[in-house]
Amino acid sequence: MGKDMSFEAVMARNSEIMKNAVGIDYGEFETGSIAFDYERMMEETGYSLQEIEEIQGETGVGNTPILELKNLTKLARIYAPEGKGARIFIKDEAANPSGSFKARRAATACYHAKKLGYKGVIAATSGNYGAAVASQAAMRGLKCIIVQECYDSKGLGQPEIVEKARKCEAYGAEVVQLTVGPELFYTFLVLLEETGYFNASLYTPFGIAGVETLGYEISKQFREMEGRDPDAVVVTNAGGGNLTGTARGLIKAGATDTEIIGASVSLKGLHMASDSQFNKKSFTTGHTGFGIPFATWPDRSDVPRSAARPLRYMDRYVTVSQGTVFYMTEVLAQIEGLERGPAGNTSLAAAFKLAQEMDQDQLIVVQETEYTGAGKHIQPQLTFAKENGIEVLIGDPADEIPGENIILPKDPSYIDTEEIQLEKTRRSYIRNCIQNTDVKRITEEDLKFLIEDTKSNEEFVKSVLDEFGVEY
């Protein structure tokens, strides 16, 4: 008799399927009720940072340029207080083979899959990572399947997601497109089990270690250009891997004084798993619909323990509006002559405002750009928004209501950020740890883990545990 392929049965085999598809027994790292040995898990890649640089170099990944945005800096200084207006730079990750920083993640995963003898790789993603995996798989001679959450129940797909599907197919990948809902993870597990392919997840140690080279390069390049590390690095934050990997790379380079700032598009009030609201958002990544849930519970990902843990490294977290990012995309193209996609422009929009808080001799860097294409341009996105009942206005983005309107700034003075209270986010993370493990008493290891995973202190963690009646 064949295996039970019901939803319940497949989900129950999750750990077994993942072990076969990644080659990692996550159970080996468990050390407490809540805790696990994160650094030991990261070492499971078996590659040093220098070895990963060599692996990426084999397929033309990495060593992307740093560009100073002199015209954007001048514009920011017009609206900054006297003596303020840091110099703004970007790390141009669009120079990677598939057009985004995610080539770094994919290069490591595909190399390892080939080394272990897997015939192909599978990734579940609606974003740039699919194209990155497809590109790297083609270079390594591997088959590739991309599972993509693409449509609502009416069969309508967002221009940006459809664009990325075309890019994956151009690299020779098979793209399995699904409607929004729990069937994504189920289908992903079924395909992993049936094909025996490698799980090229965004959230394995291989994926995060691949991004470490990005942070390491930033430090190295700034020391060569400016003789010092940047004062702040702004990272577009979704599932947390971009921020985690970049921060770890900066730390490995010794850039421990560089402030790590996360930035997301505010989609407050929209539910990411809602069929009716799926096409009410104009951003498929880099938004709070991923950024907040994955920060407050990283292990919701497609592996038992996520290697992307942004609260470990984040010093500050801000959001920007959808209209602000669209506006900044146009600004970048028209005053710097650089046409780039929306994900990197999320952190660029934040950096434009943050630079105005900093001194003129300080350095702020946006750590990635992404390619742009037919479905990722402003016009198809705004047209699609209008077709879904979203008003497109010009005015103050502070009045924007996600799902109802998109407000483009009247002028650059209206560009602003909203602060996410990290203490509240850390509290939510600890609460989720308690609820998901149903723990009543934690160990010393658990306490130490929670302090590290929230980048906080013993007093804070104990106060939250007291609030929820957990003994320690």
Digit-coded pLDDT (tens) for 409-467: 999 999 999 999 999 999 999 999 999 999 999 999 999 999 999 999 999 999 999 99
pLDDT of residue 1: 55
Whole-angstrom distance, CA of residue 177 vs CA of residue 151: 8
Is there a contact between 347 and 77 (Cβ–Cβ < 8 Å)? no
- Same domain flag for 406 and 278: yes
Are residues 298 and 154 part of one domain? no
For residues 284 and 388, state if they share a domain: yes
CB 305 within 8 A of CB 25: no
Is there a single domain that holds both residue 358 and residue 409? yes
Q: What pTM was computed for the model?
A: 0.96
Closest by CA position to 66, among listed 218, 192, 248: 218
Query: Looking at the structure, do residues 314 and 274 belong to the same domain, yes or no?
Result: yes
Instruction: Give the separation between CA 207 and CA 123, rounded to whole angstroms.
Output: 11
Question: What's the confidence (pLDDT) of residue 19?
Answer: 84
Q: What's the CA gap between 204 and 310, in Å, rounded?
A: 14
pLDDT in tens, 377-413: 999 999 999 999 999 999 999 999 999 999 999 999 9
- Is residue 472 domain-resident? no
Whole-angstrom distance, CA of residue 161 vs CA of residue 341: 13
- Strand locations in 61-220, DSSP E? 66-68, 87-91, 120-124, 143-151, 174-179, 198-199
CA atoms within 13 A on the CB side of 94: 17
Co-location of 157 and 82 in the same domain: no
Which of these ranges, 92-101, 158-167, 341-350, has the smallest mean pLDDT? 158-167
Whether 2 is covered by a domain: the verdict is no
> Which residues make Cβ contacts (< 8 Å) with residue 198, sequence separation at least 6?
21, 22, 23, 109, 112, 113, 116, 118, 120, 121, 122
Q: For residues 127 and 272, state if they share a domain.
A: no
Largest CA distance in the chain: 76
Q: Is residue 185 domain-resident? A: yes
Residues 292 and 342 in one domain: yes
Helix (H, G, I), strand (E, B) or coil at 273: coil
Q: With beta carbons less than 8 A apart as the criterion, state whether 303 and 16 touch.
A: no
Last residue of a domain, one of 205, 229, 259: 205
> Is 132 found in the same domain as 235?
no
Is 215 within a domain? yes
Q: Are residues 140 and 215 both part of a single domain?
A: no
Q: What CATH number does residue 149 fall under?
A: 3.40.50.1100
Q: Of 181, 205, 229, which residue sits at a domain end?
A: 205
Count of domains observed in the chain: 3
| Of 304, 402, 317, nearest in space to 44 by CA | 304
Token pair in block for residue 99:
């057009």
In the listed set 205, 237, 268, which residue is the last one of a domain according to the structure? 205
Assess whether 350 and 299 both reside in one domain. yes
User: Cα–Cα distance between 288 and 171 in angstroms, integer?
Assistant: 30
pLDDT interval class at 53 (50, 70, 90): very high
One domain, residues 143 and 122: yes
Residues facing residue 204 across a β-bridge: none
Give residue-wise pLDDT tens across range 115-127. Answer: 999 999 999 987 8
Q: Rounded distance, CA 381 to CA 327, Å?
A: 13
Burial of 451 (0-12, 13-18, 19+ CB in 10 A): middle
pLDDT tens figures, 356-369: 999 999 999 999 99
pLDDT band at 317 (very low <50, low <70, confident <90, very high): very high
Residue 88 lies in a domain: yes
Residue 396 CA, chain-centre distance (Å), reads 27
Which range of residues forms the domain containing residue 414? 59-98+207-419
Q: Which helix (H) or strand (E) holds 131?
A: helix 128-140
